[in-house]
Amino acid sequence: MMSISEPANLPDAPGTTATVLRTILWQPAGLIAVSVVVLFVLIAILAPWLAPHDPLSQSFLSINAQPTADHLLGTDQFGRDVLSRLIYGSRNSLIIGFLSPTLAALIGGTLGVIAGYFGGITDRLVTRVIDMLMAFPELLLAILIAAALGGGFWNVVAVLTVAFTPGFARVARASTMSVKEEPYVEAAIAAGLRTPIIIVRHVVPNIAAPIVVLLTLWTASAIRLEATLSFLGIGTQPPAASWGNIIREGLSNIFATSWPILAAGLAITVVVMAISILGDIMRDILDPEIN
């Protein structure tokens, strides 16, 4: 019955996604930010072809080497190529950076929309759990869970997802509660739509803007937090590389060579800034008053 819900052959203007992209790319800051993000994603994907060396292979003949033609960023205290580790490290950092906020947005968003739309006992339950989780700062919560679960890639993803979920749930709940009172939701009820369809078609698209903005902001936070957790030794576990543990290992070795810390720190700064700028632009674009 619902198969005909979306007219496929709209001869009209491009869809929202295309419009948003075009608006972002039209401004210099947006163009630069998108280019940076795309560049880093490409680096992460093409890591095996881009990295000049195996990021794990040690060489005790060249420890803490300064940059040379063979090792563009030098080597670390095990003689591993810093550039290769940086390139492979971008995989862990970026995947965690994108994956955990996205998971958190899905889980938290769903919980928030359900709580906000149905209210009552559901709302109270969800809200209490959110309040409890929000009582802890994200980093403290992440450290607590990581300490209990131990490190490792999937644990870091889980930790950050749990840490971010309450924020998404709260924003989704608040937005849903206001959208629910809009006349078009009542009109949808009067038209005879089922509740799940009303939520998917009329509520979710209209609360998407704040969620997307939050998503970009927390992608930056996730990359930063992964670095922090790795730096503290409960994130990505050596010998696997991430930007965070490159800095951690580089710190104990900073007087021998400072290249690992500088390079990884710069990579984090650039990516986080680019994503933050994107978030800022998204907020302006998705504001229904403007667009």
By CB under 8 A, residue 21 contacts another protein: no
Nearest approach in angstroms of CB 207 to another protein is 11
When asked if residue 262 is in the footprint of another protein (CB under 8 A), the reply is: no
Least CB distance to another protein at residue 41 (A) = 28
12 binding another protein? (CB under 8 A): yes
Min separation Cβ 26 and another protein, Å: 20
The answer to whether residue 16 forms part of the interface with another protein (CB under 8 A) is: yes
Q: Quick one: 53 or 201, whose CB is closer to another protein?
A: 201
**Shorter beta-carbon distance to another protein: residue 170 or 202:** 202
Q: Which is nearer to another protein, 195 or 269 (CB)?
A: 195
Residues between 202 and 231 with contacts to another protein, criterion CB under 8 A: 202, 205-206
CB of 213 to another protein, least distance (A): 16
64: buried, middle or exposed (CB in 10 Å: 19+, 13-18, 0-12)? middle
Q: Which is nearer to another protein, 48 or 183 (CB)?
A: 183
Take residue 62 and report the two structure tokens written for it. Answer: 């060249």
Query: Please, which of residues 148-207 interact with another protein by CB under 8 A?
Result: 182-184, 186-194, 201-202, 205-206
Q: Which is nearer to another protein, 118 or 136 (CB)?
A: 118
Q: Is 270 in the site for another protein (CB under 8 A)?
A: no
Residue 23 within binding range of another protein, rule CB under 8 A: no
State the minimum distance, in angstroms, from the CB of residue 121 to another protein.
15
Burial of 51 (0-12, 13-18, 19+ CB in 10 A): middle
Q: Closer CB to another protein, residue 146 or residue 185?
A: 185
Residues in contact with another protein by CB under 8 A are 1-2, 4-12, 16, 182-184, 186-194, 201-202, 205-206, 288
